[in-house]
Structure 1
Amino acid sequence: MTEFQDATRDAVAAITMHKIAVERTARYATAGAEPADTTTLWVVFHGYGQLASEFLTTFARQAPKATRIVAPEGLSRFYLELPRADGKHLARTGATWLTRDDREDDLRDALGMLHAVVGQEVDAILEARGDVPAIKVLGFSQGVAMSMRWVADVADRGVPEEGADVATHVLWAGGLAHDVSDDAMRAAWTGTTVQVVVGDKDKFATDSFRRTLRKRIDAMGIEVEEFTFGGGHRLDDDVLRKLL
């Protein structure tokens, strides 16, 4: 080992990481019915590198009467392009739910944000109508795993309050959460309609991917409804119209 490597090792060993809890502002987008007219509340989870407002556009075109759609946004945002001298990489930003770094802390923050957002929406509908809406969930791409983590946490914690349960859970072109146990999902999906959607040209949803996904769901003893459309890694208007 060289003198430089020795010095680097010693420098790294001398570094101490610290954590501090801070209050921060999250954002989310809504479309569809006003709370007073809402009987169904969809909670939709965007994919990697998407923003809530952009992701919600497709849903806004399809929203049926009496349906309200809420799209929370991942707490971490970043520029989608690598830095350029002309600054054009600053034009587009996206969000992500989690990375592998400080994952548990970020997951706790994300779940807290999601409970706050959905709880606020449910409370507004309850106050305006006097009853709890049917809650349905859709996760797209990276949002599939995040939606599973939230649905499992809902079942475990008993939130949202006032007896709101998840009636439908759509898994659209994304892998299952590896950090949620089969037992937890089996319990969370009790009484829930589970639907899986993939495009036949989705380069991420390979045959191997689909077999692995189906094998795990089958092992849970969960029945699923499957939908396929002609296209790649995206939402499809026709399928979405059927689901909503």
Structure 2
Amino acid sequence: MEQHTSFNFSAPYYTLNELTSKTTDVWISCPGYGQLAKYFIRRFDVFDPEKHFVIALQGLSKFYLPDQKNVGASWMTKEGRETDMHNQKAYFDSVIQEAFKEQSFESYKVHLMGFSQGVSMISRMAAHFKIDFETMILWAGGFPPELNRDDFSHLGNDAKLKVVLGLNDEFYALDKNYQPEVDRMEDAIGIKPEIISFEGKHEVLREVLHQLI
């Protein structure tokens, strides 16, 4: 019989730039399957460091990549999904409280970005914590099927949704298997997305990220 217990758990998150009186924009990002946040966050170095403060979250499960040397992380699998989502929500809440202390992170322009498996993570966090984001960037990943318009009823009129996909993505193609994901995003979030395509694969390129500011 399966049993569950609760205990204290320590997990890393990474930041780029300093949160100061000059900060105007806050980015919360979720990398994809097999990616570590400490490497993923480097892509945001194209932003103005005085104005942009970046947080990169990381999947709570780590594993060895196929080369058996490098390590990757994963947000969840089909096994124990509800437990994983519960732990992720607690992790996100703890990161926000620690990173912003007594400040409200929504006093800044908040941008959410998820790549690949991180798309579902950042979408669930936006819905669960009722984040009134300025921009949400969903980059080549599947949208959670359980989310609907009620989950995003808190959004202001100025919220923007951007969907990014490489023209040579190994997993998705807009004219084949990705349009249903885009339709679900629009239907659930209630915002017509801006579709951005680029010459590239299943990857986050600095020059494309910079164009999204």
Same fold, TM-score > 0.5, yes or no: yes
Q: What SS does the aligned partner of 2:187 have?
A: helix
How much does 1:66 deviate? 1.0
Relative distance call for 1:187 and 1:18 in structure 2 (3 A) is: same
Give the Cα separation in 2 of the matches to 1:47 and 1:188. 26
Give the equivalent residue in structure 1 for 2:82.
104
CA distance in 1, matches of 2:187, 2:133: 21
Question: Equivalents in 2 of 1:145, 1:218: separation in Å?
Answer: 14
Q: Which residue of 2 aligns with 1:113?
A: 91
Do the aligned partners of residues 48 and 188 (structure 1) sit closer, same or farther apart at CA in structure 2, a change above 3 Å counting?
A: farther
The aligned amino acid for 1:141 is S
1:35 aligned counterpart, secondary structure: coil
Q: 2:111 and 2:74 mapped to 1: Cα distance?
A: 22
Count, aligned residues: 209
Structure 1 moving runs of 4+ over 3 Å: 33-37, 188-191, 217-221
* TM-score of the aligned structures, taking structure 2 as reference length: 0.89
Q: Secondary structure at the match of 2:10?
A: coil
Q: Quick one: which amino acid aligns to residue 148 of structure 1?
A: S
**What is the aligned partner in structure 2 of residue 138 from structure 1?**
113
Structure 2: give runs of 5+ residues left out of the alignment: none
1:241 maps onto 2:202 in alignment: no
Return the TM-score normalized by structure 1. 0.79
Q: Are the counterparts in 2 of residues 145 and 176 from structure 1 also a CA contact under 8 Å?
A: yes
Higher helix share: 1
Q: Mark the structure with the bigger radius of gyration.
A: 1
- The CA distance in 1 between the partners of 2:23 and 2:166, in whole Å, is 30
Do the aligned partners of 1:32 and 1:63 also contact (CA within 8 Å) in 2?
A: no
* Corresponding residue for residue 133 of structure 2: 166
> Is 2:170 the counterpart of 1:212?
no
Q: Match of 1:70?
A: 55
Closer, same or farther: CA 188–138 of 1 in aligned 2, 3 Å? farther
Q: Are 2:198 and 1:232 aligned?
A: no
CA contact (8 A) 2:128 2:151 kept: no
Unpaired runs of at least 5, structure 1: 1-15, 82-87, 160-164
1:123 Cα deviation from its structure 2 partner:
2.9
Q: Report the alpha carbon displacement of residue 189 of structure 1 after superposing the two structures with TM.
A: 4.5
Structure 2: how far apart are the matches of 1:111 and 1:196?
24
The 8 Å contact of residues 44 and 138 in structure 1, kept in 2 or not, is answered as yes
CA spacing shift, 1:218–1:17, aligned 2, 3 Å: closer
Question: Could you tell me which residue of structure 1 aligns to residue 42 of structure 2?
Answer: 57
Q: Distance in 2 between matches of 1:184 and 1:92?
A: 41
